[in-house]
Amino acid sequence: MNLLTIKNFSKSITDKVLFEGADFSINEGEKIGVIGVNGTGKSTLLKIIAGEMETDEGEVIKANRVKIKYLPQNPQFPEGITIYDYVISLNKNEHNQWNVEGEAKNILNILGFTDYELVVDNLSGGQKKRVALAATLLSDCDILILDEPTNHLDSYMSAWLEDYLKKSKAVLVMVTHDRYFLDRVCNGIVEIDDGKIYRYTGGYEKFLEEKTLREEIAIASERKRQSILRVELEWIRRGARARSTKQKAHIQRYEALRDMEGPKEAEKLQMSSLSSRLGNKTIELDKVSKAYSGKALIRDFSYIFLANDRVGIVGENGCGKSTLMKIITGEVQPDKGSVDIGQTVKIGYFSQENEYLPEDMKVIDYIRDTAEFVQTVDGTVSATKMLERFLFNSTLQYQLIKKLSGGEKRRLYLLKILMEAPNVLILDEPTNDLDISTMMILEDYLDSFNGIVISVSHDRYFLNRIANRIFAYEVDECTEEVNIKQYEGNYDDYLEKSGVNPYNINLKKNSQKSREEIVNKNSQALKTEQAETNAKENGKPKSTKIKMSYNEMREFEKIDDEIAELEAKVEYLEEEIGNNARDFVKLNELTKEKDEAEDLLAEKMDRWVYLNDLNERINNQ
């Protein structure tokens, strides 16, 4: 049953077009993950679904009595309200109020709140988001809309939320950049790209396979278009034997093929590795301790960071991970112990919250304040070019920072830090608010980064990708003291060695495929296909006959009509593909049928060239 449909809609924010002629629908039983580069309109789509924002054009059709609940990216709260009163106030009309009150306390406990009288005004941004999440989850609804629900959740909270959403009967539409979360919870992925919406069945892994296939189909179709263009051009140069109307049709087809735009190469974030020379002495922590309000967060911790260390720091919210980062950067002084930093160390600190961004400054000027040019392994690169590599096109570069989306601001802030060429990168929850494309490029960048990387993150995918050592905040069950314990390997290695497994996953058999594996697999298949095509093209009929056989004469008489029929079929299929561009299953079927028709058309036209040439030779002998 269809619950909500948005037909042929368009939406612009100021002068930026986010959607143009797009379609979207929600059906019973769906759990949809929405992904796309920051600034493409993910949060805008959620607001339109929730009724918080109207489209510029198009129609929103909602089924009768469908209840929608929405968790925004930055929730707003009444002044002076307690967390418990807020959660209850949003659900005061539920039928069984007694159960609602009990469940409210249960969810707040799970999300890290034991004092229900805390005033929301006094909470951090992450704590406020968790309070709003509790209120949204408690609601009885048909469609649950969540914008970045996994931000500010530790591993245990994320594992609980994953289980909660999988069991929920409500339809789910969610924006998250947690790739494992997408794979475990969602049965459908919606991608926003260049103002259009593309749908894929399955979780994140299946999305990678289908998206790669879609891109490769477009590339293969372009190769076939170029091949047909060459044959069409040969046809026009030779002149058709058939009536002039047919010759005119071929000329029109050639011109249409010639003027057709090929597939645009997907814009990708690129960042050549930048770093300063790091000497032998790096960062040395000697018996560092830190406590707040009598609660020890760090106790007698010592560690000497090695060149090219890749350290991931994990633990429950509030255990002191960010405090350790700030001690390393010098923002916070330890109560005991010392931090000794080498003279060549240059720290780049990507904090949870952006540094102050001058809202009335242009994007290009903000980056130029850091460096007009930077030296990369590829040579000298300008600030303008670096911005382009980070998907800030010429229009965005001259936008005021205040017009950027939250994710675009995070991306800009990250670029500024990387352009300072640090040799020690400290990343505090980098996966919050950065889109998946940016995360993939950051991960690739860190592979070649010549320096130390220290990262706090609850994103298992990210830590599996970049970490070779884990610092885990653990509580001693006997003394209840917090200790930082070291584990060699990535996050899955830590889960296996520590016995901690909030996700209840099989660590020995991780089925998650990388995009690179999928691309290689599909590319190999397409290389095989291309080799077959080339073999077919190189095997064009060659003959030394000076007269046609009876069968060739019959074939020559019919071939113009057969070509015309195939051209009409291809034209019809092209129209159908355009009408079903966002239905991947139907698109796949139509594309396959069109490929077969074009292959047959190419064979017929090759055959026509041969027969026409033979006919001319017979007439001229």
Residue 253 has pLDDT above 70, yes or no: no
Q: How confident is the model at residue 53 (pLDDT cuts 50, 70, 90)?
A: very high
For range 457-480, the mean pLDDT: 86
Kindly write down the DSSP assignment for every residue of 476-538, as one continuous string. -TTT--EEEEEEES-HHHHHHHH---TT---TT---PPPHHHHHHHHHHHHHHHHHHHHHHHH
Q: Percent of the chain, pLDDT > 70? A: 80
- 378 or 182: which leads in pLDDT: 182
- The number of C-alpha atoms within 13 Å of 281 and in the hemisphere containing its C-beta is 8
For range 472-491, the mean pLDDT: 82
Q: How confident is the model at residue 171 (pLDDT cuts 50, 70, 90)?
A: very high
Residue 252 has pLDDT above 70, yes or no: no
For range 434-461, the mean pLDDT: 87
What is the value of pTM for the model shown?
0.71
Strand order in the sheet with 336-341: 295-304, 283-292, 336-341
Q: For 118-122, 222-226, 439-443, which range has the lowest pLDDT when averaged over its residues?
A: 222-226
Q: How confident is the model at residue 225 (pLDDT cuts 50, 70, 90)?
A: low
Which pLDDT belongs to residue 518? 46
3-state SS, residue 464: helix
AA identity, residue 75: P
Q: For 110-124, 345-359, 500-514, which range has the lowest pLDDT when averaged over its residues?
A: 500-514
Nearest CA-CA partner of 308 in 278, 338, 269: 278
Residue 440 has pLDDT above 90, yes or no: no
Triad 360, 362, 368: Cα angle to 5°: 125
For range 168-180, the mean pLDDT: 93
Nearest CA-CA partner of 6 in 63, 60, 68: 60
Which pLDDT belongs to residue 510? 44
Which pLDDT belongs to residue 268? 47
Taken in order 12, 15, 20, 22, is the CA torsion positive or negative? negative
Helix 204-238 / helix 584-620 crossing angle, nearest 10 deg = 20
Q: Percent of the chain, pLDDT > 90? A: 36
Which pLDDT belongs to residue 222? 66
For range 235-257, the mean pLDDT: 52
Contact of 43 with 405, CB cutoff 8 Å = yes
Which pLDDT belongs to residue 446? 87
Which pLDDT belongs to residue 269? 45
Residue 340 has pLDDT above 50, yes or no: yes
Contact of 150 with 161, CB cutoff 8 Å = yes
Nearest CA-CA partner of 342 in 456, 470, 452, 485: 452
Place of tokens 């011109």: 255
Q: For 143-147, 159-163, 234-238, 396-400, which range has the lowest pLDDT when averaged over its residues?
A: 234-238
List pLDDT tens digits, range 283-299: 999 999 999 887 888 99
For range 401-418, the mean pLDDT: 88
For range 252-278, the mean pLDDT: 55
Q: For 307-316, 481-490, 576-585, which range has the lowest pLDDT when averaged over its residues?
A: 576-585
List pLDDT tens digits, range 117-135: 999 999 888 899 999 999 9
Residue 434 has pLDDT above 80, yes or no: yes
- 443 or 220: which leads in pLDDT: 443
Which pLDDT belongs to residue 241? 46
* CA quadruple 448, 452, 457, 462: dihedral, nearest 10: 20
Q: For 52-61, 175-184, 573-582, which range has the lowest pLDDT when averaged over its residues?
A: 573-582
Kindly write down the DSSP assignment for every residue of 557-594, as one continuous string. HHHHHHHHHHHHHHHHHHHHHHHTTTBHHHHHHHHHHH
Q: How confident is the model at residue 496 (pLDDT cuts 50, 70, 90)?
A: confident
**Partners of 169 in the β-ladder:** none
How buried is 507 (Cβ within 10 angstroms: 0-12 exposed, 13-18 middle, 19+ buried)? middle
- 431 or 487: which leads in pLDDT: 487
For range 35-40, the mean pLDDT: 88
Residue 203 has pLDDT above 50, yes or no: yes
AA identity, residue 411: R
- CA distances 506 to 166, 195, 492, 576, 594, Å, are 18, 39, 10, 44, 42
- 313 or 501: which leads in pLDDT: 313
Which pLDDT belongs to residue 542? 46
Q: How confident is the model at residue 420 (pLDDT cuts 50, 70, 90)?
A: confident
For range 404-420, the mean pLDDT: 87
Which pLDDT belongs to residue 172? 96
List pLDDT tens digits, range 535-593: 554 554 444 446 778 788 888 888 888 888 888 888 888 777 767 756 666 767 887 88
Q: For 1-10, 12-21, 225-234, 325-334, which range has the lowest pLDDT when averaged over its residues?
A: 225-234
Mean pLDDT for the chain overall: 81
Triad 178, 520, 491: Cα angle to 5°: 35
Say how far apart CA 90 and CA 83 lie, in whole Å. Answer: 11
Rg (CA), the chain: 30
Nearest CA-CA partner of 231 in 552, 536, 546, 543: 536
Kindly write down the DSSP assignment for every residue of 162-198, as one continuous string. HHHHHH--SEEEEE---HHHHHHH-SEEEEEETTEEE
